[in-house]
Amino acid sequence: MVHADCHYAEDMEELTAGTLCQCQCGEKAVWRDRPFHGNVVAARERECLEDICPRVSPTPGLKFDANCRYDPGLYGESGAKSRGEGALSLLVVFLVSGLAWRAPL
């Protein structure tokens, strides 16, 4: 079964904006530049410190650290390229298109 949902966005930032987060629970890194859609800095920092870290590292006295930053162009063309995703996408397209025209053996 296929389900499609459409949403009109008048402002492009609504589609390209995102939040990048780091979540460190003691010596365990749970998130390293993990992207989330929208401006959810406070919610994701709270989730890291109050929900995730106590389960991942329940030892008392460990330092928990959450650092999130909002980027209005995170999912835009420049945001993907700054994270290195543009080159990977191009490589995948090249490989798939190369396989499509190759003659069968």
Domain that holds residue 52: 13-101
Question: Residue 8 falls within a domain, yes or no?
Answer: no
Question: Residue 94 falls within a domain, yes or no?
Answer: yes
Q: pLDDT tens across 1-19, in order?
A: 998 888 788 888 888 999 9
Tally of domains in the chain: 1
Q: pLDDT tens across 65-86, in order?
A: 999 999 999 998 765 555 544 4
pLDDT for residue 31 is more than 60: yes
Beta strand 18-25 with 64-71 is antiparallel
pTM of the model: 0.66
Host H or E run for residue 56: helix 53-56
What own/partner pairs with CB < 8 Å and gap ≥ 24 does 7-13 have? 12/76, 13/72, 13/73
Sign (positive or negative) of CA dihedral 87, 88, 93, 94: positive
Question: Residue 91 falls within a domain, yes or no?
Answer: yes
